[in-house]
Amino acid sequence: MDARKRFTPEEKVKILREVVEDGKSVSSVAEGYGLHPNNIFNCD
C-alpha cells in the first residue's frame, strides 16, 4: 500500500494556480500529480 501524499501549503497553491491561472483542466493537473480530481476541488 502506498503512503498518503502530503503537500505543503506552497505546493497546494502551485497546484491550484495551474488550474486557475494557467487554464489547465483539473483532470490533467490531478493526473500530473497522481491525485484524484476531487482532491483538487476539496483542497483545504
What is the full DSSP assignment across 1-44? -PPPP---HHHHHHHHHHHHTT---HHHHHHHHT--HHHHHT--
> What pLDDT does 6 receive?
87
Distance CA 13, CA 33 (A): 13
Among 6, 33, 3, smallest CA distance to 17 is for: 33
> What pLDDT does 43 receive?
76
Phi then psi dihedrals of residue 19, to 5 deg = -80, -50
pLDDT in tens, 1-44: 678 888 999 999 999 999 999 999 999 999 999 999 999 888 77
What global pTM score does this model have?
0.78
> What pLDDT does 41 receive?
86
> What pLDDT does 1 receive?
61
